Structure 1
Amino acid sequence: MCRMVGFCFETNQEINGFFEHLQRMAKMGKNAPHNHGWGIYALFDDAVIYYRSPKSVYEEELIPLKARVGILHARKASEHLPVSFMQLHPFIDNHGKAFCHNGTIYDIPFVSIESDTFSYFVKIKDFSSYEELAERIRNVAEGYRHTGMNFLMVNDDELIVYCGYSQNEDYYTLWYDDGWGFVVASEPMNDNFKPMENRTMLVVKDGRIEKVLRV
């Protein structure tokens, strides 16, 4: 159970407002507090910003930053999982992917880390097409009992967003604004944000939605 923000633009933009929204959600949003650590992964020109902290996100400050695509995550640990640095999102691989998740997937076998999110990432991250990714998500959803399978994934310079849940629509629905660039969050930042449909995946590049898939 977590709160997330993702963004994708054609050029570098100020992102501190997204950090502040994450702080508000973590401290005062739905099912608050989300105080078991936080993390960020973002791309700025040819540089990567990657930081994870066990502190509550609303106890930290972010230096002024610009980035083009990225994800932020504040963790609220599921009851059966440890609270440690190892469980903090986003997770990364060696191929330009970063991943964060909101929800709980029960009984999924752990891979290296006691984290349902990391196991979920491992099961879906090696795809050759978006249709294959959708199929991998579907296999996890059908194979394991879960509350939510929402995720944000940075894949090279694009953002992939999935909204999928089996309960608590009010909590798990993701909200997005594609009026100027693309921003997605666990709770809307303003009245311009629209709800995603359940079991829907968006592929976003240069701030524009390029593909919509039903899962």
Structure 2
Amino acid sequence: MCRMIGFSFKSERSIDDFFAHLQNMAKNGKFAPHDHGWGIYALNGENVVYHRSQRPIFDDTFPSLKLNAGIIHARKASEHLPVSILQVHPFIDNCGKAFCHNGTIYDIPFHFIESDTYSYFFKIRQFNSYEELLEKIAYVAQNFKHTGMNFLMMNKNDLLVYCGYSTNADYYTLWYNDKNGFVVCSEPMNNDYVPMENKTMFVVKDGRIVRKLSI
């Protein structure tokens, strides 16, 4: 159970408002507090910003930076999982991917660390097409009990957004705004945000949704 924000723009812009919104969601939003650490993976041209902290995001600070794409995540640990820096999202691999997740996958086998999110990432992270990725998501959904399988993934410069859940639509629905660039949140920032449909994935590049896929 977590809160998260993803963003993609054609050029760099300040993310201070996104950071403040995630702080507010984590402290005052649905099922608050989300106080088991936070992390960010973001791009500024060819530069990468990657930071994870075990502190609650609403008790922490982050320098004012201009970035063009990224994901930010505030964690609320599932009851059966540890609380440590090892479980803080986003997770990364050595192929330009970063991954964060909202939901619980109860019976998925752990890989390396006690984290259902890392195991989810491990199972879907290698794909040759976005259709293949969707097939892998469907396999996990069909074979493991879960509440939510929402994720944000950076695949090099592409932002991938998946909204999928089996319960509590009010909590798990993702909200997005694509009027001036692209932003997606666990809870809307204002009335310009619209809900994603369940079991839907967006591929976002340079602030534009370039593909919509569904299971």
Normalised-by-shorter TM-score class: over 0.9
Write the deviation string for residues 40-90 of structure 1: whole angstroms up to 9, x where unpaired: 000012110000000000001111111111000000000000000000000
| Equivalent AA in structure 2 for residue 159 of structure 1 | L
SS in 1 for 2:183: strand
* TM-score of the pair, normalised by structure 2: 0.99
| Equivalent AA in structure 2 for residue 188 of structure 1 | P
Alignment match, 1:187: 187
Write the deviation string for residues 134-181 of structure 1: whole angstroms up to 9, x where unpaired: 000000000000000000000000100000000000000000000000
Q: How many aligned positions are there?
A: 215
Alignment match, 2:10: 10
Distance in structure 2 (CA, Å) of the matches to 1:23 and 1:50: 18
Distance in structure 1 (CA, Å) of the matches to 2:156 and 2:89: 17
| Equivalent AA in structure 2 for residue 29 of structure 1 | G
Q: Does 1:67 align with 2:67?
A: yes
SS in 1 for 2:74: strand
| Equivalent AA in structure 1 for residue 137 of structure 2 | I
Structure 1 stretches of 4+ with a deviation exceeding 6 A read none
SS in 2 for 1:52: strand
Alignment match, 2:88: 88
Alignment match, 1:200: 200
Taking every aligned residue pair, what percent have the same amino acid on both sides? 65
Distance in structure 1 (CA, Å) of the matches to 2:32 and 2:9: 29
Distance in structure 2 (CA, Å) of the matches to 1:103 and 1:55: 20
**Matches of residues 1-215 of structure 1 in structure 2 within 5 Å?**
1-215=1-215
| Equivalent AA in structure 1 for residue 202 of structure 2 | L
Distance in structure 1 (CA, Å) of the matches to 2:99 and 2:180: 24
Distance in structure 2 (CA, Å) of the matches to 1:205 and 1:47: 17
Distance in structure 2 (CA, Å) of the matches to 1:5 and 1:88: 15
Distance in structure 2 (CA, Å) of the matches to 1:117 and 1:7: 20
| Equivalent AA in structure 2 for residue 10 of structure 1 | K
Distance in structure 1 (CA, Å) of the matches to 2:16 and 2:98: 20
| Equivalent AA in structure 2 for residue 82 of structure 1 | P
Write the deviation string for residues 61-120 of structure 1: whole angstroms up to 9, x where unpaired: 111111111000000000000000000000000000000000000110000010000000
SS in 2 for 1:9: strand
Offset of 1:21 from its aligned partner? 0.5
CA RMSD in angstroms comes to 0.4
SS in 2 for 1:187: coil
* TM-score of the pair, normalised by structure 1: 0.99
